[in-house]
């Protein structure tokens, strides 16, 4: 079924465009598809890199904030002795 549709489209293109210009048009369409796929892959790589950088930044920020909070609120044994006196 799928092969019949492709054959009908190719025959219609051959009749409408002509055998002289069909290879040029096919080459142009192939270049467009290749450029589109390259742009899509570059966009995906860029988005993944940004997501990874954001995750790493968030992790560093969270770790830093946690260590800062623990250092501010930690009481050492010496502090506890001073509070009892």
What is the value of pTM for the model shown?
Answer: 0.50
Residue 75's pLDDT is 57
User: How confident is the model over 9-32, as pLDDT tens digits?
Assistant: 888 988 988 888 988 988 999 999
Look up residue 53 and give its two tokens: 């950088």
Contacts of 79 (CB under 8 A, 6+ apart): none
What is d(CA 84, CA 82) in angstroms, rounded to the nearest whole number?
6
Tokens describing residue 68: 């800062």
* 38 confidence band (pLDDT: 50, 70, 90): very high
The 3-state secondary structure of 21-65, one letter per residue: CHHHHHHHHHHHHHHHHHHHHHHHHHHHHHHHHHHHHHHHHHHHH
């Amino acid at each position: 079924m799928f092969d019949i549709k492709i054959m009908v489209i190719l025959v219609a293109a051959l009749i409408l465009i002509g055998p002289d210009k069909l290879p040029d048009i096919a080459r142009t369409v192939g270049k467009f598809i290749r450029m589109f796929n390259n742009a899509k892959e570059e966009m995906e790589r860029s988005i993944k890199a940004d997501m990874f950088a954001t995750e790493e930044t968030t992790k560093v920020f969270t770790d830093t904030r946690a260590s800062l909070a623990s250092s501010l609120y930690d009481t050492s044994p010496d502090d506890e002795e001073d509070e009892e006196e």
